[in-house]
Amino acid sequence: MFGVKIRGIAMKFSIIIPTKNRTVLLDRALKSVLAQTNQNYELIVVDDGDGSGLDLARRHESAKIVTFSSESAGQVAARLVWLSVPDGLNTRPMMVLTFQRRPF
């Protein structure tokens, strides 16, 4: 559960958005996350494509957004690249959730 306190300590969390050449969907996702009332997070964008996702994320000019490139290494690498870099919130997930749109 996000935005709760455990033993009086506010939970901090990371949101990871992997992207590859899909700036329209990425822009929508970034706007949605940035509009949330709970601001105790870092937003990590990992671009696995042509770099357009990094450019778009940087244009949002939010200190909460951290960007990485995985240089076309694939979906798994895009989701895990952020583990190798120290983060500002000193958080690491106990659990990683992946959401995908599935056709009905």
Q: Is pLDDT larger for residue 45 or for residue 10? A: 45
Cβ neighbours of 65 (radius 10 Å): 20
Percentage of the chain modeled with pLDDT above 70? 66
Question: What would the pLDDT profile of 41-78 be if each residue is shown by its tens digit?
Answer: 888 888 888 888 889 999 988 888 888 887 777 777 77
Taking the mean position of all CA atoms in its chain, how far away is CA 31?
12
CATH code, residues 5-84: 3.90.550.10
Phi, psi of 23 (to 5 degrees): -65, -30
Burial of 1 (0-12, 13-18, 19+ CB in 10 A): exposed
| Intra-chain end-to-end CA distance of the chain, in Å | 27
